[in-house]
Amino acid sequence: MLRHALGKTFRFLGYTVQYGCIAHCAFEYLGGIVVCSGPSMEPTIQNSDIVFSENLSRHFYCIRKGDIVIVKSPNDPKSNICKRVIGLEGDKVCTSNPSDFLKSHSYVPKGHVWLEGDNLRNSTDSRCYGPVPYGLIRGRICLKIWPLNDFGFLDQKMLDKYLSLASEQFVICPFPFNAVA
């Protein structure tokens, strides 16, 4: 009887460890569901939107300009932030705020990306903390899940919508990316 109970317990522990490892690998390497908060990515991603973040792109260095990524915050490593990739290593980016009269530019160093929120006037991003190391990228947002009326892949249409809204906000500094590349 004791032997039977121990056998069941060890079998249960074995399954728990096995499924735990599978879940860890799935969330670490495939992706996961993320609830976004804050106004910095409006209008593309609103406060409390639920999105799917895939992690394969970061492992294979497939992050492109225009992608929206989840990144460990350079200011607080315990929290994650959601921003758009504006520049990759070697790209020239505008480092000043939209309200600045004189615009300053800089080059993104090797192994880094330049991130900005879509809502430039209400975003703490690379304009504040500089280029972000590529290793801090956790995943690329590819699918909006909630609200249901916005369900779908974040693709060229979303990027075009963002660019048109950015030009309506009188952002003088041009965005140095081409989503097709």
Instruction: List the catalytic residue out of 65, 83, 126, 144.
Output: 83
40 is annotated as an active-site residue = yes
In angstroms, the first-to-last Cα distance of the chain is 66
104 is annotated as an active-site residue = no
In whole angstroms, what is the distance from residue 62 CA to residue 67 CA? 10
What three-state secondary structure class fits 105? strand
Q: Extract the tokens encoding 181.
A: 């590349």
What are the beta bridge partners of residue 44? none
Buried-exposed string 122-131: b where 16+ CB fall within 10 A, e elsewhere:
ebebbbeeeb
Q: Which residues are catalytic?
A: 40, 83
